[in-house]
Amino acid sequence: MKYNELTEQQKKNLLIDQYEDKKKSFGDIAKEVDTYANKLRRDAIKYKVKIRDKSEAQKNAILSGKIDHPTKGKLRSEKTKQKIGMSVMNSWDNLTDVELTKRKDKARENWEKLSDEEKQNMLHEANLAVRKTSKVGSKLEKFLLNKLLEDGYHVEFHKEQTLLNTKLQIDLFLPKLNIAIEVDGPSHFEPVWGEQSLSRNKNYDNKKTGIILGKGWVLIRIKQVKDFSKSRAIVMYDKLKQSIQDISNVFPESDNRIINLGD
């Protein structure tokens, strides 16, 4: 069968069957029907056949065994991992609003394709993770804790005793410097679990702020807008460490003891 001998409808049917349904590449199809890949791509666009992006094309090639996974089985140094992570972070930060919208729409589309059972399982796992985080701390909290300890700071982590006669906890506390550090995830400033939950969290945070300032301590609030990534966490720790050093050099006046850091 030669591609040039087919009718327009047969060409369209061929592309839908081989490219869309069977996930073959234009190059593979071209070899079978005695034509070239760019011709098929142009016709696919003309017939409104959805063209796969690079990520989808690579995924299909890996699944078919045509190429090896680019990272599977490869060991990288921490320096290399950090460099890659910083590159990815900068790439995301520099996305335009249009590109961000496209990615959000794609994620929403993928969610809608899931079965009800798959959605329920994912929501269940997410709820378990939230409950666990409330008890043992978020990834960012634990990352900052470990970095502070590595740098020789005395740190108290999630200790209720810090705030006497209350059930409130401070995420990270530096007792020698009188610095309280709070890591606020999205549920502290967005209605992730509903407006009532958001209002309760805000009241909780306001009460904690009053107690901390009332003790004469400095409060550093870290607003975690995006999901945890090691590269972003390193950048945040650099900001936090600089703030701690500034406070160590000159302890701020009473009306300037709240420091807000955002990612």
CATH of the domain at 257: 3.40.960.10
Q: Is residue 209 part of a domain?
A: yes
Same domain as 35, residue 101: no
Same domain as 83, residue 25: no
Same domain as 150, residue 44: no
**Tens digits of residue pLDDT in 190-226:** 776 778 878 888 888 888 898 899 889 999 999 887 7
What is the residue range of 91's domain?
Answer: 78-133
Q: Is residue 35 part of a domain?
A: yes
Query: pLDDT at residue 26 above 60?
Result: yes
Whether 26 and 12 have beta carbons less than 8 Å apart is answered as no
Give the chain's radius of gyration (CA, Å). 26
* Domains: count for the chain: 3
State the CB neighbour count (10 A cutoff) for residue 66: 12
Q: Is residue 13 part of a domain?
A: yes
Structural element, H or E, at residue 218: strand 218-223
Query: pLDDT at residue 96 above 70?
Result: yes
Query: pLDDT at residue 162 above 60?
Result: no
Q: Is residue 72 part of a domain?
A: no
Q: Is residue 73 part of a domain?
A: no
Same domain as 254, residue 144: yes
For 196, the 3-state DSSP assignment is helix
Q: Is residue 69 part of a domain?
A: no
Among 182, 194, 184, 162, residue whose Cα is nearest residue 243: 182
Angle between helices 230-249 and 139-150 (to 10 degrees): 50
Same domain as 159, residue 46: no
Better pLDDT: 99 or 143:
143
> Could you tell me how many helices (H) and strands (E) the chain has, helices first?
10, 5
In the numeric block, which tokens belong to residue 158? 């999630």
Structural element, H or E, at residue 8: helix 8-15
Same domain as 141, residue 128: no
Q: Is residue 70 part of a domain?
A: no
**Tens digits of residue pLDDT in 45-94:** 998 888 888 777 777 767 666 666 656 656 666 566 656 655 655 665 67
- Cα–Cα distance measured from residue 56 to residue 158, given in angstroms and rounded to the nearest whole number: 43
| Helix, strand and coil in the chain, % to nearest 5 | 60, 10, 30
Q: Across the strands, what pairs with 222?
A: 183, 261
- Cα–Cα distance measured from residue 210 to residue 182, given in angstroms and rounded to the nearest whole number: 13
Whether 228 and 221 have beta carbons less than 8 Å apart is answered as no
- Judged by average pLDDT, the poorest of 41-50, 115-124, 159-168, 202-211 is 159-168
Ramachandran category for residue 73: left, alpha or beta (phi over 0 → left; psi -120 to 50 → alpha): left
Q: Is residue 87 part of a domain?
A: yes
Structural element, H or E, at residue 119: helix 116-136
**Tens digits of residue pLDDT in 128-153:** 654 554 444 478 888 999 999 999 99
Query: pLDDT at residue 13 above 50?
Result: yes
Same domain as 159, residue 177: yes
- Of 41, 64, 87, which one is at a domain's C-terminal end? 64
Predicted structure pTM score: 0.53
The one-letter amino acid code at 128 reads L
Same domain as 123, residue 19: no
Same domain as 9, residue 55: yes
Same domain as 43, residue 25: yes
- Cα–Cα distance measured from residue 219 to residue 171, given in angstroms and rounded to the nearest whole number: 11
- Of 118, 133, 148, which one is at a domain's C-terminal end? 133
Same domain as 169, residue 248: yes
Count CA within 13 A, CB hemisphere, residue 158.
11
Same domain as 184, residue 121: no
The one-letter amino acid code at 195 reads E
Structural element, H or E, at residue 262: strand 258-262
